[in-house]
């Protein structure tokens, strides 16, 4: 098993770079010594755990003690040797002519890489923030033996993922493991790259726009869910229920919104059980994905054959397959309705699944020519991507939003005062009001920034060789835009872990456009449902707080805003006390 040991020289002394063997280095040293001009066959390697070096002999048998090379290495030959033999970013020759193989980043451990540090600094941000302070805005960290180039500042993210999106737009998601979990083929939007991703993404966006994403038709559906939720909360109040499980209501309401987009119906009454089943499966999938052992199995697929790791893999795989089978059954049920009612030839507005089936039958894309859009499993992957990404992130962000305003009564009151000036007591808050509500918009911006849902963003890979900050990143280098570091950048957002909506307002109280606020990621892989998500966050938060004062159940022991580590960060469940703000208010 390769050992990640290392060596690097800088102003603070020696740092580790990467070796490729945990055995004595004799054979590699012989080759390197020969390449460097020493006598063939000479070279003795030492593995000292903290670093590895070679001792080469020149033709006169004079010792040249070196670290990966003799004293007469040039800068270019040193770098070339490091890349060739060690897959390390760069070689540096010191004043004495020794060649040091180096990369910039934290010291990795054998087998784990830097997973231990990420796991220990819960919920996952602090490792990346700490490394940025130590190594700069761009550095290498290790997921087991996989080096990841992290880009942690907005300027460089803009130059790479936004301005050069085709180069940095590949996808790396431990593909062998994902292919197994997804039935042997990568499809949809999240997992694909290159031409396939461009075609899938363009097609999905076209359908989402046609069904009204970002338009009034979707707004009406969201407001319908808002009204149902508020009516149910008021009904609980009328029944003298004091403690309200608002998170459960938000979960169901946001689930209904995305289900209407994908399948065309909301969850209510008997079919709420359907939502609970799908929610449970997706929660379990995210929970399994967040476990360190899952990461290890993803990084070392061969471990699936060992009993302990096999059990972990099979448990996670079972949940993934159950989720896909559940979605497949929903697709089959809708397809039967689609065919029975002749919806292909109708002018009726259809949800995503219906629009997909209509496009497939219309022949606008040539299936016979191998269109990637209409493979047998393509629709299933589209639904998994849109439903999963469109529910979990919105529901969690709303939960954080209610919590932050519950804990910050001053901000809650300021937002409510602003709402009262613009929106009548018996009126719903709509998108038409949005431009006149700068403080409310600032609150929602701050909720998204501080919630900072993904401690570690999804991995990309370079689609060609590219230069970054003087380094050459070879094709297929794994890179990640660390959005969490941007959202917690002290230079942009002072006191980044405090809830301060005013940071998004100018001195006149008007909303500032802050370019660095990128909660939906950036570039060509920006979230497909950004406009839908923004609309949901605004309509839910504004209407809830226009209707109710929200307070903790126990003012002396309010819920904590401490986050729970995970692929998507979570929070501890809490309930709230509600008080109607107006005697006459809209009801269902």
Q: What is the pLDDT of residues 439-487, one digit of tens each?
A: 999 999 999 999 999 999 999 999 998 888 767 788 888 999 999 999 9
Q: What is the pLDDT of residue 530?
A: 93
Strongest mean pLDDT among 4-18, 164-178, 315-329, 564-578: 564-578
Distance CA 480, CA 189 (A): 17
pLDDT digits (tens, 9 = 90+) for 341-356: 999 888 888 999 999 9
Per-residue pLDDT, 92: 61
Q: What's the rounded Cα separation, in Å, for the pair 570 and 177?
A: 25
Q: Is 194-452+494-580 a CATH 1.10.630.10 domain?
A: yes
C-alpha closest to that of 53 among 64, 74, 43, 68: 68
pLDDT digits (tens, 9 = 90+) for 117-148: 998 998 999 999 999 998 889 998 988 878 89
User: What is the dihedral sign for C-alpha 359, 365, 369, 372?
Assistant: negative
Task: Find, among 146, 145, 113, the residue nearest to 131 by Cα.
Answer: 113
97, 74 contact by CB (below 8 A): no
Give the mean pLDDT of 356-375. Answer: 67
Using only the alpha carbons of the chain, give its radius of gyration: 27
Does residue 129 contact residue 136 with C-beta atoms inside 8 Å?
no
552 φ/ψ angles, rounded to the nearest 5 degrees: -70, 155
413 three-class SS? helix
Token pair, residue 225, equals 């869910």
Annotated binding residue 33: no
For residue 300, give both structure tokens.
């070392």
Which string of DSSP letters, residue by residue, matches 107-162?
Answer: PPBTTTBTHHHHHHSTTSHHHHHHHHHHH-SEEEEEETTEEEEEE-SHHHHIIIII
Cα–Cα dist 400/453, whole Å: 10
Three-class SS of residue 239? coil
Percent of the chain with pLDDT over 70: 78
Structure tokens at 584: 């006459």
Can you give the pLDDT at residue 165?
A: 94
Nearest-angstrom CA–CA distance, 328 and 332: 6
Q: What pLDDT shows up at residue 1?
A: 23
pTM: 0.82
Per-chain mean pLDDT for the chain: 82
Q: Where in the chain is the domain with CATH 1.10.630.10?
A: 194-452+494-580
pLDDT at 161: 96
Closest CA to 177 of 305, 2, 302, 322: 302
Across the beta sheet with 63-65, what order do the strands follow?
A: 44-47, 52-57, 63-65
* Whether 372 contacts 199, CB under 8 Å: yes
pLDDT of residue 65: 31
Higher pLDDT, 327 or 65: 327
pLDDT digits (tens, 9 = 90+) for 503-545: 999 999 999 999 999 999 999 999 999 999 999 999 999 999 9
Of 538, 221, 587, 229, nearest to 425 by C-alpha is: 587
Whole-angstrom distance, CA of residue 188 vs CA of residue 198: 10
Among 355, 363, 427, which residue's Cα sits nearest to residue 386? 355
Q: Which stretch of 154-158, 205-209, 221-225, 368-372 has the lowest confidence by average pLDDT?
A: 368-372
């Amino acid at each position: 098993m390769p050992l990640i040991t290392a060596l690097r020289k800088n102003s603070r002394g020696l740092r580790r770079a990467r070796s490729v063997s945990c055995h004595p280095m004799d054979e590699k040293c012989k080759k390197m010594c020969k390449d460097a001009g020493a006598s063939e066959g000479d070279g003795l390697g030492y593995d000292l755990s903290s670093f590895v070096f070679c001792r080469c002999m020149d033709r006169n048998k004079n010792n040249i003690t070196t670290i990966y090379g003799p004293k007469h290495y040039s800068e270019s030959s040193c770098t070339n040797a490091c890349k060739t033999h060690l897959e390390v970013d760069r070689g540096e020759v010191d004043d004495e002519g020794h060649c040091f193989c180096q990369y910039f980043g934290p010291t990795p451990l054998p087998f784990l890489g830097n997973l231990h540090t990420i796991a220990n600094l819960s919920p996952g941000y602090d490792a990346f923030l700490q490394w940025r302070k130590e190594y700069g805005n761009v550095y290498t960290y290790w997921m087991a033996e996989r080096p990841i180039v992290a880009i942690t500042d907005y300027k460089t993210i803009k130059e790479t993922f936004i301005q050069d999106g085709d180069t940095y737009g590949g996808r790396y998601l431990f593909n062998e493991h994902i292919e197994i979990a997804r039935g042997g083929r990568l499809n949809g939007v999240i997992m694909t790259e290159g031409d396939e991703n461009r075609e899938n993404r363009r097609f999905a966006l076209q359908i989402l726009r046609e069904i009204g994403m970002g338009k009034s038709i979707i707004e009406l559906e969201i407001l319908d869910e808002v009204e149902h939720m508020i009516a149910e909360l008021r009904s609980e109040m009328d029944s003298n229920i004091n403690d309200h499980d608002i998170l459960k209501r938000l979960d169901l309401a946001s689930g209904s919104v995305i289900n209407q987009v994908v399948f065309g119906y909301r969850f209510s009454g008997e079919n709420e059980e359907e939502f609970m089943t799908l929610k449970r499966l997706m929660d379990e999938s995210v929970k399994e994905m967040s476990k360190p052992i899952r990461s290890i199995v993803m990084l070392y697929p061969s471990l699936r054959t060992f009993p302990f790791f096999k059990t972990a893999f099979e448990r996670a795989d079972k949940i993934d397959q159950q989720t896909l089978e559940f979605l497949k059954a929903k697709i089959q049920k809708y397809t039967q309705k689609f065919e029975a009612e002749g919806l292909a030839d109708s002018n009726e507005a259809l949800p995503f699944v219906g629009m997909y089936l209509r496009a497939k039958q219309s022949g606008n894309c040539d299936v016979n020519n191998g269109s990637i859009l209409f493979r047998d499993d393509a629709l299933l992957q589209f639904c998994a991507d849109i439903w999963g990404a469109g529910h979990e992130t919105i529901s969690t962000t709303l939960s954080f939003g209610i919590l932050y305003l519950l804990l910050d009564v001053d901000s809650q009151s300021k937002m409510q005062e602003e709402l009262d000036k613009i929106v009548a007591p018996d009126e719903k808050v709509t998108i038409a009001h949005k431009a006149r509500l700068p403080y409310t918009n600032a609150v929602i911006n701050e909720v998204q920034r501080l919630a900072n849902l993904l401690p570690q963003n999804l991995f990309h890979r370079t689609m060609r060789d590219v230069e970054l900050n003087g380094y050459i990143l070879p094709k297929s280098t794994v890179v990640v835009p660390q959005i969490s570091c941007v959202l917690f950048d002290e230079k942009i957002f002072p006191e980044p872990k405090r809830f301060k909506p005013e940071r998004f307002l100018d001195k006149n109280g008007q909303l500032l456009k802050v370019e660095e606020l990128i909660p939906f990621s950036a570039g060509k892989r920006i979230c497909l449902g950004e406009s839908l998500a923004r609309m949901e966050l605004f309509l839910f938060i504004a209407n809830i707080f226009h209707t109710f004062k929200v307070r903790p159940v126990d003012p002396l022991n309010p819920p904590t805003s401490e986050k729970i580590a995970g692929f998507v960060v979570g929070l501890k469940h809490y309930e709230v006390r509600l008080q109607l703000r107006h005697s006459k208010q809209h009801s269902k």
